[in-house]
Chains A and B, each alone.
Chain A
Amino acid sequence: MKSLIIESEKNTPYIYCNPGESKFLISGKSFPENSRKFFQPLLAWLDGFVPESEVCFDFNLDYISSSSVIAILEVLKKIETVGSKNDGGVHVRWYYDQGDDDILKIGLDYERLTTISFEFQENLN
């Protein structure tokens, strides 16, 4: 399957999904004006993604606007579906900066709202 790579811009995150390397990452700041439109290509890509073994998605975001919070929940729901397509399932590694409770809390909310297993990892500054 083809990789999906979207370079970051001032208000949008870097997206790197490469099944060949088994690497899936979303990082940076997310405050596009139209979050739904921005995340559409990722949602479409995930629709076609059938992993052969367990996959881990890394989220390393340092700012998420409120409409992005909802759009990323849609992404996670889609990742949840991806997990049901293979035996190994999926899990999410959620990174947050040391002392950044806001990003940590958003991750904890997502853990509550999905069935995905979350691992929380502090970025050491």
Chain B
Amino acid sequence: MSGFPNRVLEVCNSRYQEIFGRYNSTSSKKILISHFGEFSQELVNSLTNKVEEMMLDANDKKGTIKRVFSILVEGLQNIRLHGEKDEDGNQASFLIVAQDDDEYLISLANLVLNTDLKTVDERITKINDYDDRELKELYMEVLTNGIISNKGGAGLGFITMAMKSKNKLGYTFEEINDTLSCFTMEVKINRSKKE
């Protein structure tokens, strides 16, 4: 017995354990925050505040703190708005934030429908192919035609995450069953400490 009520949760959790283990096994890396399960708006607020406080304590630059804060807000709202639910109604998802001397790593995961994989993959591939100027153009285009969906999303989330990260967005899909996959993102933010 795995101890999980269903296979979807089990697969997501093994992904979570794997990333957690990978960050944890690197002696230079420190895991600041991790959560597996659902994210309420209150939890989003408290986790983002907590990371902000930890970064202030670690003497990070204000700009770096704001960029990490932004990626967390965009990523977690993305999970809440678009994360699919398993057969028991759990919005299985997770977050891990790790820090070392050079960078912050933010891992985020949620369930996606297999029928949406192609759209998500194409969207991120396009963003990763773009240079800064092209990314800004795409951002302005989406902003100009900006339509906020009924869920509250606006289509700027991934673009904003890429612009704040200033690195390529890492991502993987792991198929769980005929309907669902676990979608994991890894976003890197280079660190520049105060002099």
Contact = CB atoms under 8 A, between A and B. Distances in A.
Interface of A: 10-11, 31-37, 63, 65-67, 69-71, 73-74, 97, 99-102, 109, 113
B45 A109 contact: no
A37 B77 CA distance: 15
Contact of A35 (B70, B74, B148): B148
Nearest to B140: A109
Tell me what chain B mostly uses at the interface: helix, strand, loop, or mixed: helix
Contacts of A66: 74, 154, 156-157, 159-160
A34 B62 contact: no
A33 B69 contact: no
A67 B77 contact: yes
B156 A67 contact: yes
B167 interface: no
Contacts, number: 70
6 contacts: A33-B81, A66-B156, A67-B156, A69-B154, A70-B156, A71-B154
Given A11-B45, A66-B154, A31 B146 contact: no
Main secondary structure of the interface of A (DSSP, over half): helix
B45 A36 contact: no
B143 interface: yes
B24 interface: no
Nearest to A36: B148
A99 B62 CA distance: 9
A63 B157 contact: no
A52 to B, nearest CB: 32
Given A10-B45, A11-B41, A113 B144 contact: yes
B152 A35 contact: yes
A70 B155 CA distance: 10
